[in-house]
Amino acid sequence: MTAKAPLNRLKKLWREGRPTFGAIATIPSVQTVQIMAQSLDWIIVDLEHGPIDLGSAHAMIVATSGTPCVPMVRIAANEPWLAKAPMDIGALGINFPMICSRADAEKAVRSVRYPPRGERLWGPFHAPFRWGVSMADYMASADDDMVCIVTIEHVEAVNRIDEIMATPGIDLAVIGPGDLATSINKRGLPDDPEVVELMKRAEAGILKSGVPIGGVARTAEAANAMIARGYVALALGFDWSLFQRGIAASLDGIKRW
């Protein structure tokens, strides 16, 4: 009997060291996701900072259907009850913010996997419909298909990077420069030398662990440099920032007076 292909193609790409590209969706828009999903490997629907409710998130997840783009969700806090519904409506990854200790990381890992590997509660009523599989087939591969993403975005997390990255079950670790800068009273200054040094320490700890690493690539030059250092998940921006850049590029060179 031929083994079924996994629903989530990202883990295989990361194991092979192949870079993937995505964006964070903050606008509650099916149309926006449909456009982005044509070109990106993954989209993270932002339930932490974006004005998106679960109904809109479900529609946005479904909007990736028919494309290779994998929908994931960023939740507002490292709480199992916040991760539960996004998985049950079809997200194949949860991005946990503010992971600052091994205990935080273990809690995140347990949230995305069913017993005995974790503590995810049963109720994936809509996820199988998104992926075109039976409930039984969804359940059979759910633990392996789900991506547990931990965000390193606080100075305390950098200080504990080795213990965090030693946690079994983390599928991707991303570095968040915005909150990392804020944690040392350098908010809005991700390029400050002290922030850059913390990011280098976080990067070194993640790469040493062998866990796939992700981060924000604001330019093509930055993306290429990050890929050369071993990054496999690169966020090209937020939906709003991509729109801003596209509009600016369209206006560049036009004489408006």
pLDDT tens column, 189-224: 999 999 999 999 999 999 999 999 999 998 999 999
Confidence of residue 5 (pLDDT cuts 50, 70, 90): confident
Long-range contacts, stretch 133-141, CB < 8 angstroms, 24+ apart: 133/7, 137/4, 138/7, 139/114, 141/4, 141/6, 141/7
Confidence of residue 37 (pLDDT cuts 50, 70, 90): very high
Residue 94 is inside which H or E element, if any?
strand 93-96
**How high is the mean pLDDT of the chain?**
96
Domain limits of the chain? 13-242
The pTM score is 0.95
Structural class in CATH, domain 13-242: alpha beta
